[in-house]
Amino acid sequence: MAKLNTNSNVYTIVYASVMVIIVAFLLAFVASSLKATQDANVARDVKGQILSSVNLRGEADVDAKYAEVITENADGTFTANINGEQKLIVPLKGAGLWGPIWGYISVNKDGETVYGAFFNHEGETAGLGARIVEEWFQTGFNGKKIFMGDEVALGVYKAGKAPSNLSADYVVDAVTGATLTSDGVRNMLQKCIAQYADAIKAFKGGESKSCDAKPCCGEGQCEMADSCCADSCADCASSCDECGACKAEKECGACCESDNTNK
Amino acid sequence: MGLKKILDNMKPAFSEGGKLSAFGSLFDAAETFFYVPNETAKVRGAHIHDAIDSKRSIFFVIIALIPAILFGMYNIGYQHNLAVGVPTDDIFGQFLYGLGVMLPKIVVSYAVGLGIECAVAQWKKEEVHEGFFVTGMLIPLIVPVNCPLWILAIATAFAVIFAKEVFGGTGMNIFNPALVTRAFLFFAYPAMMSGDKVWVNENYMDCINGTIDGYSCATPLGQLGAGEPVTYDAMDTIIGTIPGSIGETSFIAIMIGAVILIWAGIASWKIIVSTFVGGALLAYLLPYEGAQNFEWWEQLTVGGFAFGAVFMATDPVTAARTECGKYIYGFLIGAMAIIIRVLNPGFPEGMMLAILLMNVFAPLIDYCFIQSNINKRAKRAVK
Amino acid sequence: MSLFSKENGEVFKSPLNLNNPVAVQVLGICSALAVTSQLKPAIVMGLSVTVITAFANVIISLLRKTIPNRIRIIVQLVVVAALVTIVSNILKAYVYDVSVQLSVYVGLIITNCILMGRLEAFAMQNGPWESFLDGVGNGLGYAFVLVVVGFFRELLGFGTILGFQVVPDCCYMENGGLYLNNGMMTMPAMALILVACFIWAHRSINKEK
């Protein structure tokens, strides 16, 4: 056979086309056959993070545990079932000092306190901001209170620098020497939890509107009389003097509406 | 028998072929410490700057550092008493306390640095160059009080090897070795170099043991960086009774040193003045947002600005050498330091970085001025 | 020529030491800095580069007589890119956590000078078996440097080796001891200095050769 002229135009074009087609098929084949495994990996990584936020760290079989404990909600939050108790998991996204930070925080059924938290980052300073991934920092959130009234009061503060109206229940100590990353965590918490405040309220509120439930109002406020509980304690009158026409303390809430219904 | 005779008698043992020739460099250093060397610079290829041997000029720098050193020692004791809650009128006692804290640092810095320099000099069969005498004194002055000694040792070793010896020894380095020490400490052990717990010493034995039980107390730059009100008056920052790295707090002490250096002709007043001008201009243009109790000109008296301007920027080896270049060099250092401080949230202090950056550009600045000079003269010659 | 002749042995051995791609040819530095902050990604990266270089070398060597001269570099690039994509997908599927740490640097193997250098300099002129040996040799030489640098960076910067805590917890300053991890070891700048030290040691040991 005559020697192929490898420098001719026709040959070059044909060669290039054949090469492209072969490579394209090969890569498509590899990508599609491995896609399932890869997606499972990515999903498993996220599941592991979500499980960490309910204090289930280092699970051997992440997929099984996740399937057992977590359900996904339509609004992007997750509901966890831990030993019969329900927790709501809220996703967090924010900015640290050098790059993005993110995480998940789980809320107890009372809608007020933290059950667990998980944080991760892309490029914070090793030994300083990067310590937000360490367990000691994350478990420091367990049991902390989130809301003061309708505002998110939970925050990460340098020792001694928290606002004076916040009790220790709202404050998590910042990582020493990582002021800016800690500020980033605080901003992220306050912004993202506020976005899901309604979801948390709904989670807390639950189905029953029984008023035999524990008093929902704070100090100096009255329990609601019969029918429904108000959505927040701000709806209760703070004293019977405000209503004038009410007879007994227990009926304060009812007297604020002329038609005897609560808001 | 006079000292000279003793040294002359000892000399053969230390020369080539003598019994102690391994320590020849060390002997040479000691001899020239006491007596001006007999050799003169070779005529070919040397640029003669001054009639005095470099050892003498280095001595002047050490003398100029003395006010800052003495005040720094006093301040350590003062801040300690302030923190512990003890009355602060015992001037001498506080000074002694500070001396006790500083001395181990000075010893470590010199021992490690000179040890490495002597070893390298002996290996290359050259004399030990005394340039490290200044660097060794500067290093303890630019670290916070609670810096553990072993960390200081590692950083000094790193700086001497990688910022000095690798380039060819004294006179050949691009970067200021004291600042490379500080930069290494800053990036390698950030928890020890910044934050609130490192500036006041509770127990000077802690310093030697390296424990961090420091009293929590922020420096003015730390407070500005966190957006908190500054709790120190302008007068405090000028006198220097504020927390900070050991030698950098007292503006007055540093200025006394500056006067000594300028009068002795060792440091270039052009660099010092242009650094302050650059810093002042940028401080005026870039005030800290929402800073309370802080004038714009206080930027020049807090942190390492004054110390860096007088002792680090003027290092003849790493600074620009052309007279016009010095103005640009100093101005850019001052300007960059303020820019980094105010605009970068990650670095409350910018002086170290500004000087290291300009160290890189100093040869370029010189080159530009020399080239333009050559071009001007070429044009004149053609006419 | 026999499979394991002396020349072939030389082809394989020289990049491991005297002609080491990182230490002597000074190729492939940027990935050497970026992925070596811990030992495990360094090992995976080293192995990936070895595999890719070896097989790219073989493929190009097999095709060398048929490649049109005008699109020579493009063909080499396509072969390398295809191999890298395949390897990257495999990593993502089977060692996901390492692939996250390696992130973009696996893709950057395409631009790694070692590969293009060996393809042009060796595979285009030599037979497949020799090219395979050359690829493996260069890849392993590169991997060796990465492993050394990664070992020291992880040990001094995190106190661990392959994730196992080597420096005992009690030694750390916050637990009452005196030791601290060197934060700069986790930064690429220090990796550059470590590579420089490696080259320094390498040149000193091999001064006579």
Query: Considering the domain boundaries, does residue A11 fall inside one?
Result: no
Same domain for A75 and A164 = yes
Q: Choose one of A160, A181, A202: the last residue of a domain.
A: A202
Tokens 């810095």 found at: B109
A124 interaction partners in chain B (CB closer than 8 Å):
none
A125:B195 CB<8 A: no
Q: What is the dihedral of CA B300, B304, B305, B306, to 10 degrees?
A: 80
Q: Using CB atoms, which residue from C180, C187, C189 is nearest to B192?
A: C180
Same domain assignment for residues A197 and A211:
no
Confidence of residue A18 (pLDDT cuts 50, 70, 90): very high
Nearest in space to B275 (alpha carbons), one of B299, B242, B244: B299
For A159-194, the pLDDT digits (tens) are: 767 777 788 888 888 887 677 888 889 999 988 888
pLDDT score at A246: 41
Shared-domain flag, residues A180 and A220: no
CA distances from A210 to A45, A205, A229, B31 (A): 40, 10, 7, 96
B346 with A177: Cβ contact below 8 A: no
For residue A59, pLDDT over 60 is answered with yes
Domain shared by A94 and A119, yes or no: yes
Q: Is the pLDDT of residue A2 over 70?
A: no
Distance between CA atoms of A114 and A88, rounded to whole angstroms? 10
Give the least confident one: A31-40, A234-243, B323-332.
A234-243
- Residue A93's φ and ψ, nearest 5 degrees, are -140, 135
Q: Which residues contact A130 (CB under 8 A, 6 or more apart)?
A: A121, A124
Whether residue A236 sits in one domain with residue A169:
no
Q: Considering chain A, what is the average pLDDT of its residues?
A: 75
Task: Tell me which chain A residues have a C-beta less than 8 angstroms from the C-beta of C90.
Answer: 30, 34
Does A172 fall in a domain? yes
- Residue A40 inside a domain? The answer is no
Boundaries of domain holding A255: 206-262
Interchain CB distance below 8 Å, A97 and B194: no
What is the predicted ipTM? 0.77
pLDDT at res. A259: 41
Query: Which DSSP state fits B165?
Result: I
* Closest residue to A176, CB basis, from B195, B225, B228: B195
Report the residue of chain A nearest B196, measured CA to CA: A177
Chains linked to C by 3 or more Cβ pairs within 8 Å: A, B
Instruction: Indicate whether A135 and A168 sit together in one domain.
Output: yes
Q: Is A254 within 8 Å of A245 (Cβ atoms)?
A: no
Question: Please, what is the angle between helix B177-188 and helix B132-141, to 10°?
Answer: 40
Do A195 and A247 have their domain in common?
Answer: no
Whether the per-residue pLDDT at A231 is higher than 60: the answer is no
Query: Phi first, then psi: what are they for A233, rounded to 5°?
Result: -70, -15
Domain shared by A102 and A164, yes or no: yes
Does some domain include residue A156? yes
Whether the CB of A46 is below 8 Å from some CB of chain C: the reply is no
* Residues paired with A90 in a beta bridge: A105
Q: How far is CA C45 from CA B236, C25, C36, C101, in A?
A: 55, 19, 9, 10
Chain C residues close to A42, C-beta within 8 Å: 96
Q: Which residues in chain C (158-187) have CB-CB distances under 8 A to chain B?
A: 173, 178, 180, 182-185, 187
Asked if A28 is an interface residue toward chain C (Cβ–Cβ < 8 A), one would say no
Q: Say if residues C32 and C198 touch (Cβ distance below 8 Å).
A: no
Which helix (H) or strand (E) covers residue C87, if one does? helix C72-94
Q: What is the 3-state secondary structure (H, E, C) of A123-159?
A: CCCCCCHHHHHCHHHHHCCCCCECEECCEECCEEECC
C-alpha dihedral, A42 to A43 to A49 to A51, nearest 10°: -150
Task: Please return the burial class of B122, using the count of CB atoms within 10 Å of its CB with bins 0-12, 13-18 and 19+.
Answer: middle
Among the candidates A179, A202, A225, a domain finishes at A202
Name the more confident of A208 and B53: B53
Predicted TM-score (pTM) of the model is: 0.74
Interface contact B188-C184, CB threshold 8 A = yes
Nearest to A30 among C75, C89, C183 (CB): C89
Residues A255 and A146 in one domain: no
Q: Which of C137, C145, C114, C141 is nearest to C7 (CA)?
A: C137
What average pLDDT values come out for chain B (383 residues) when binned by 10 residues? 71 67 62 60 51 70 88 83 73 82 88 87 74 86 84 90 85 88 86 66 46 58 72 78 81 90 87 92 83 77 88 88 91 93 81 93 92 90 79
Q: CB-CB: which of C178, C182, C187 is closest to B210? A: C178
pLDDT for B195 equals 63
Residue A30 forms contact with C (CB below 8 Å): yes
Same domain, yes or no, for A103 and A185? yes
CB-nearest to B345 from A128, A160, A180 is: A180
With a cut of 70, list the residues of chain C below it in pLDDT. Answer: 1-3, 173-178, 208-209
pLDDT digits (tens, 9 = 90+) for A73-83: 888 888 888 88
Domains identified in chain A, total number: 2
Which other chains touch chain A, taking contact as 3+ CB pairs less than 8 Å apart?
A: B, C
C14 CB burial (10 A radius; 0-12, 13-18, 19+): middle
